[in-house]
Structure 1
Amino acid sequence: MRSPIAWAAVALLAVFALAALLAPWAAPYDPAALHLEQRLLSPGHGFLLGTDELGRDIFSRVLFGARLSLLVAFTVVGCSLILGLIVGSVAGYYGGWRDTLLNVYVMNAFMAMPGILLAIALVAFLGPGLRNVILALTLSGWVNYARLVRAQVMSAREREFVEAARSLGAGDLRILTRHILPNIVQPVIVQAAIGMAGAVLAEATLSFLGLGVPPPAASWGSMLNDARAHLFDSPHMVLAPAIAVMLCVLAFSFLGDALRDWADPRTR
Structure 2
Amino acid sequence: MNGNELLAKHFEEHRSHLRAVAYRMLGSLSEADDAVQVTWLKAAGADTGGVANLAGWLTTVVSRVCLDMLRSRESRREDFLDEHGAGPGARLRTDPEEEALLADSVGLALLVVLDKLSPTERIAFVLHDLFAVAFADIAPILDRTPETTQRIASRARQRVRGNSGSASDDRMRRYRAVEAFLRAAQNGEFEALLALLDPDVTYRPDEAARLLGAGTDLDGGRVLAEAFCGKAQPARAILLDGEPAMVLAPHGTLMLVMTFRFAGERITEINAVADDDRLSRIEFTLP
Q: Same fold (TM over 0.5)?
A: no
Q: Which has the higher helix share?
A: 1
TM-score (norm 1): 0.26
With CA pairs under 8 Å and 6+ residues apart, which has the higher RCO, 1 or 2? 1
